[in-house]
Amino acid sequence: MTKLNPRDLTISGEDYLKAIYHLSEDGAPATTTGIAEALALTAPSVSGMVKRLADAGLLEHLPYKGVTLTSAGRQAALQMLRRHRLIEAYLVRFLGYGWDTVHDEAERLEHAVSDDLVNRMADALGNPTVDPHGDPIPTADGRLVEVASMPLPEVPVGTTVVIARVDSGSAERLRWLAEAGLVPGATVTVVAQQPFSGPITLQLGADDRIVGHELAAHLLCAAPTASNLS
């Protein structure tokens, strides 16, 4: 069987690989139901595309166990992530987009740009390692360096951390966080956390911020470095 070159993927195929990558980030296989929900499709249509991508050598599909990316499929997914995240960074840095609006624009552009253009964007940006939301940007050769982090609700009271990543799924949430100064790179100290998933009080500079537990779960935090504390 002739394997599909990832460069010959359709837009739909690229979206599938990226969705499966995200759904399986915790190490568990993606399910057809999860893929259908992520792409707003029906389960039967997902099953058909999963079979085609598996026949192309980009997925492994074990009945009743789920879907995983092969090495080739993972590399193709990382290439899409690189495109998407570099486009976001470029639009924010050079074209004045807000971090709350850039995701949808990058979703459209990621399928149209060439690898050469993406690499030129990376050079113009100084080869950043993260996008505006703090998500790591894969390297041109397909490596992804993750920074150890934990959701804000898991940070013990009295601990100082740096906001490393923010879930980009809601533009309204991103706008509120930006206004509150709770953005990647911000250093905060957990002052108090109410029981039973109650609100969390943070110290940000000389001010306090009170964040609901549900919202706090969308903030991933890392240990501060010397540069963060200076």
Give the pair of three-digit tokens for residue 221: 């935090």
How far is residue 67 CA from its own chain's centroid? 20
Per-residue pLDDT of 101-139, as tens digits, reads 999 999 999 999 999 999 999 999 999 999 999 999 999
CATH superfamily for 150-229 is Ferrous iron transport protein A (FeoA) (2.30.30.90)
Domain 6-69 CATH (choose: 3.30.530.20, 3.40.50.300, 1.10.10.10, 1.20.1050.10): 1.10.10.10
Q: Where are the beta strands (DSSP E) in 11-131?
A: 59-62, 66-69
Q: Which residue has the tokens 């039967």?
A: 44
Please report the pLDDT score of residue 1 as a whole number.
37
- Per-domain residue ranges of the chain: 6-69, 150-229
Please report the pLDDT score of residue 201 as a whole number.
98
> How far is 78 from 209, CA to CA, in rounded Å?
35
Asked if 56 contacts 4 with a C-beta cutoff of 8 angstroms, the reply is yes
Per-residue pLDDT of 63-105, as tens digits, reads 888 999 999 999 999 999 999 999 999 999 999 999 999 999 9
Q: Which of 18, 13, 45 is nearest to 32 (CA)?
A: 45
Q: For residues 145-152, give the mean pLDDT.
A: 92
| DSSP three-state, residue 19 | helix
